[in-house]
Amino acid sequence: MDNLTYRDLRSEDTDALHAIVSDWDVVRQMGSWPWPPQYRFTESRCTTYKGVGFVWGLFAPKLIGMVAVTEGELGYLLAREYWGRGIVTAMARTAINHGFREPVLQEITASIWGDNAGSRRVLTKLGFTKTADGIEHALARGEDTSSHYYSLSRDVWHRLRCDAQ
């Protein structure tokens, strides 16, 4: 999709984001989103991120997802009807490029649930390497869930970008 745009989320995006996170198949892969969906929680996410990093809405032209690098960790979600089109890879690549513009950021990490084969493929394709396995509590699932942790260094990212050109 060539018409993707990114911007900070605003309060007027709450209804569209809430529709996305009202899909169990989307939320079950998220670490901190509640299930059943809670409108106030969604609303709390539709503001400019105040920490180190950024959280953007992804628009085509309507809101179809989110991507973030917060405190050095990559995260994303995408409405199910857009899965399988390479959009997550494209938006993660954009977020990584933007994240590494911050000179102090030497590494971007990511974590996924053990059964998230799609995100495993995305992270591997982007050059992330698995650093550990663990168990974490999945809020939406309401249970402890196997997880995998990944890392991508600035040096590896720049080398991969140079090799691709």
Total number of domains constituting the chain: 1
Cα dihedral sign, 41-101-94-163: negative
Q: Give the model confidence (pLDDT) of 2-33 as tens digits.
A: 789 999 999 999 999 999 999 999 999 998 89
Q: Give the model confidence (pLDDT) of 42-95 as tens digits.
A: 999 999 999 999 999 999 999 999 999 999 999 999 999 999 999 999 999 999
Q: Please report which helix (H) or strand (E) contains residue 138, including its range.
A: strand 129-138
Tokens of 17: 């984001």
What residues make up the domain containing 58? 5-164
Q: What is the CATH number of the domain that holds 18?
A: 3.40.630.30
